[in-house]
Amino acid sequence: MAADQRFEVRQETAWCPGCGNFGIVRAVAKALNGLGLDPSQVLFVSGIGQAGKLPHYVSGNVLNTLHGRTLPTATGAKLANGDLTVIAVGGDGDGYAEGGNHFLHAIRKNVNITYIVHDNQVFGLTKGQASPRSDPGMVTGTTPLGVYNEPFNPLATAMTLNAGFVARGYAGDQEHLARIIQAAIQHEGFALVDVLQPCVTFNRINTYQWYRDRVYDLDQEEAYDRTDRQAAWKKSWEWGERIPIGIFYQVKRPTLADHYSDILDVPLVRQELDPGAVEEILSEFRIG
Amino acid sequence: MQTLNIKIGGQAGQGLVSIGTILIRAATQEGWHLFAHQDYESRIRGGHNFIQIRLADRPVASWENDLDVLVALDEATITRELGEVKPGGVVIYDPDVLGQDAKTLVEKPNCIGLPFARIAEELGQPKIMANSVAAGAVWALLSEEIAVLHETLALMFAEKGEAIVQGNQSVASAGFARVRELTRERAVPAKPQGSEPRLVLRGNDALPLGALAAGVKFMSAYPMTPSTGVTEFISEHGRIARVIMEQAEDEIAAINMAIGASFAGVRAMTATSGGGFALMTEALSFAGSAEIPIVVIDAMRPGPSTGLPTRTEQGDLRCAVAMSFGDFPRAVLAPGDVEEAFYLMVHAFNLAEEYQMPVVVLSDQHLADSYVTVPPFDLSRIEIKRGRVVSCAEAGPDYLRYRCTDDGISPRLYPGFGDGLVVTAGDEHGEDGHLIEDAETRRRMMEKRMAKQRLVEENALDPVLCGADEPELMLIGFGSTKGAVAEAVEILNSQGCRAQGVHLPQVFPLPKSLAALLQKPARKFIVEANYSGQLEDLIASRFAWKPDGSIRRYDGRPMNAKFILDRLPGGVCHGS
C-alpha cells in the first residue's frame, strides 16, 4: 500500500451523524499518512467516551483502556517500547474530569506522547451532562439551573506546568488540525492537542456555526511568538468573540525517557530476561 | 534448640534499626540463625518502637515472647517492656534518659546502666555512635571476643572512611568491655555450629529480589507503608538490573502505568497496601477483561481505612480474592517467609503471563519488615515462562488478539513486533479486539476468559505441610503465619500431640488437593490475622466445610507459637 494511504478510516462507526469526531479521525489519519508511518508502529491509547472509540476507527494498534486512565497507561506503554509512536485520545470528561490528576502529572513527567482531547464541552456518551469545559449557564441533565462551576482551561493549565507543546485545533478544519497533529507527533515530549469539537446532539450552544464565526489561526497573527510562555498563557484565555487555534506554546524540555537513558539504550521490551542478573544484588545480602 | 531473644527499644529516630542491623549482621557472621521483627509507630520521631532479634542455633521462622536481653534507649522501654524479661535476663539501659520512677525499676541484679551517648562522647566520638556502644554492650553477652563485631562495623562503615570505622570500633569496644566486666560470672552461649554463607533478608527485600529474578522490567507505585520497601528496593537497584521504577501520582496511575508497560510486552508490577490496593480495583478488572498480565503486591496492614499503618494483619484476603466488578480470572498468592516470597514472585509473573491476567501477591507488615537468615537462593531453580507469544514472523496481518482457542488462551503479540495490529479493549470485544454489542460474542468471550480460571485452579500450588503425617490436630493458615504455625506444631509434637501445619501459599483459587486434607480425621483450626475469619470463609464456601475452631489475631501484632498454643482449647490433643 502506498505510504500515504496506510492509515484508513473505518466507514462504520458508533458516532452520531455529523459528529465532530469524524473531522478529528480524518485529520488523525491524514497526519499519520503524511508522516509515512506504518500502522504497526503506532499505538493509540484511549479512554472511555465517544472519543475513546476513535482508535477502533483508524488503522493502528489499540489499547482502549478505562475512563480517565488514558495517560498513565500510555506512559507505561511508551516507557516499555519507545519505538512506538504513542497517541493518547480521549474526551474532555475523560481527560479533564476523571483523568484530571493524571493530566497534571503526565505533563510534569513530559512523556513523549501526543494527547488529543476531543473537547465538545459536554459528556456525550452519557447523554449530555456538564463537563469541566461547559460554559457557565449551560443547562444540562445534571445542571438544570445552568452550569455554575468555573470552566477548566486545559491550555493555561498545561502551560502553567510548562508542557512542551500546547495546541488547539478545530474539528471543522481538518487541514489545519492534521498539520497541528503532525507537529505534535514530531515534538519530542508531551504534546497536548485540545480539539474544539461540536457535539451535534447535546451541545446546542457550541455548534459548527458558533465556532466558524469565532476561530482564527494564531499563525495569521503577526509577531505571535510561540516560545513566549507569558504571552501564550494570556492568549489561552481568549474565549468569546474570537477564539484562537493553532500552536500556542512550544519549547523543548528533557523527556521522561531522557531521565532513563542509561536503561533505555535498548527499548525495555527488547531486553533479555536473565535471572542471573540478580546475583550481584543478592551478594549485598550475603554474609559469610 | 538454643535460642536467645534480644529486644532493643527506643524512640523513632534513636537508631534502633542501626543497632539492630549491626547485631543482625554480626550474629549471622558468627553463625547464628535469626528471626528479627520490628514494631514501630506511624511517626518519624519519638513514640516507642522496638526491634526484637531471636538468635538460634538452627533456622527459626518466628519470634518468642520472653526476653534474654532488653536494651533500653528510652524510658518507655523500661516502663513497658521490663516485665517481658525472663528471670536471669539482662537489661542494659541508658541511665541518662531515665526518670526517677524508671530508675527505681532497674535497681536490681542483671540491670546494667550504660550511658551510650556519653560513652561515645567521652571517647571523642559523635553522639550518633551511641548505637555502636549499645551494639558492643549486647555483643558482650553473646561472645567473649569482639573481633566479629569489629569486622561487621568495618564492612558497614567502609564507605564512610577509616576514621568512622575506627571510631565505631572503639566505642563498641568500650560498651563491650563494660558489660563483659560486669557479667564475668555469666557464661556466654556456645558458639553455634556451621558457618555456611547465609542471606539476611526481609520480605521487602525478598519480594523485589524475586521480581528482579523473574525479569521485571517496569514498576510503578505510590508510597504506602508497609509496601514502600519494595518500591524503594526496585528504585535503588533499578539501574543495575535495568528496570524502570516510576513513582506515580496515585495508585490508580501506578497500576495503569504498569498495565500499559505490560501490554507493550514487558513484565510489569506495582506494590501497595490496603487503601492503595482498593484504588486499583477498577484497573484490576480492566486487566482481567483486556487480558493483560499484571502483578500486584499488597503488603497488608490493619484496616479498615487507614487503620494501624505500621502494623500487621491479614485483613485484605477477601478483598484480594473478590475485589472488582464483573467476573474475570485471577490468582492470589500468599508467601509465608522470605524464601517463599522470592520464588513465588517468579511464579506470580509466570502465572500472570501464561494466563494473561492479574496476580495478587499478599504480603503483610510482619513478613515485609522481619529479617530472617536463609540459605542462598538457587537461581537455577528459576524458570521464566512467558506464556504463548507470537513471534514477529508468525504475526501476519490477520492477527487476532483475542483468537478463541480450546483453553481460552489467545497468543499475545507485542505491538510493533509484526505486521499484525494488536487491538485491545476493556469494553467487550470480538476476537479482533474491536467493540461488540451482540449477546453471542459476549457469551463466547466471557467463557473464553473464565476457561483460564479453571486452568489456574487445576495448576494451583499445593498446601505446604509440616509436622505429623496422620495428625489428630491440624492448624491451617496462609501468608506470614507460616512460621508461627510451624513452631506451634513442633512444640505440640514434642509434647506428644500429633499436630500438622497446613500453609497455603496460594489462596485463590484454592488447590483441589486441600479437599483431601480437610477430610482427614483431625481436629482442625484455622489460624489467621483478621477479625472475621476471611480464610475460613474462603475455605468454607469452596469446600462446604467448617473448622473445629478458629484462632484469630487482630490487634495489629504478629502471631507466634505462644499466641496459638494459648488459644487451643484444653484437651484438644489426646497426647497433651
Rounded to two decimals, the ipTM of the complex is 0.98
Q: Which among B250, B283, B416 is the nearest to A84, CB-wise?
A: B416
pLDDT digits (tens, 9 = 90+) for A259-287: 999 999 999 999 999 888 899 999 999 99
In this prediction, residue A3 carries a pLDDT of: 66
Q: Do B257 and A62 touch (CB under 8 A)?
A: no
Task: Decide if pLDDT at B576 tops 70.
Answer: no
Residues of B in contact with A161 (CB under 8 A): none
Fold held by A3-283: Rossmann fold (3.40.50)
Task: Decide if pLDDT at B191 tops 90.
Answer: no
In the three-class reduction of DSSP (H, G, I as helix; E, B as strand; rest coil), residue B357 is classed as coil
Cell of B252: 490508580
3-state secondary structure B303-340: CCCCCCCCCCCCCCHHHHHHCCCCCCCCEEECCCCHHH
Q: What is the mean pLDDT of residues A120-124?
A: 93
pLDDT digits (tens, 9 = 90+) for B418-472: 889 999 999 999 999 999 999 999 999 999 999 999 999 999 999 999 999 999 9
Residues of B in contact with A74 (CB under 8 A): 260
In this prediction, residue A1 carries a pLDDT of: 62
pLDDT digits (tens, 9 = 90+) for B263-296: 999 999 999 999 999 999 999 999 999 999 999 9
Biggest CA–CA distance in chain B, Å, is 85
- From CA A83, how far away is CA B106, in angstroms rounded? 68
- The answer to whether B492 and B473 have CB atoms below 8 angstroms apart is yes
Q: Which among B205, B415, B434 is the nearest to A285, CB-wise?
A: B205
Break chain A into its structural domains and give their ranges.
3-283
Q: Rg of chain B's alpha carbons, rounded to an integer?
A: 26
- Can you state the angle between helices A70-80 and B251-264, rounded to 10 degrees? 40
- From CA B292, how far away is CA B353, in angstroms rounded? 8
Which residues lie below 8 Å from residue B327, measured CB to CB, with a gap of 6+?
A: B446, B449, B450
- From CA B1, how far away is CA B4, in angstroms rounded? 10
Burial of A145 (0-12, 13-18, 19+ CB in 10 A): exposed
Residue to test with chain B: of A37, A79, A107, A263, most B Cβ within 10 A = A79
Task: Decide if pLDDT at B127 tops 50.
Answer: yes
Phi, psi dihedrals of residue A7, rounded to the nearest 5°: -90, 110
Claim: this prediction has a pTM higher than 0.95: yes
Q: What is the mean pLDDT of residues B179-201?
A: 91
- Can you state the angle between helices B147-157 and B162-182, rounded to 10 degrees? 150
Residue to test with chain B: of A73, A125, A271, most B Cβ within 10 A = A73
First to last CA, chain B: 21
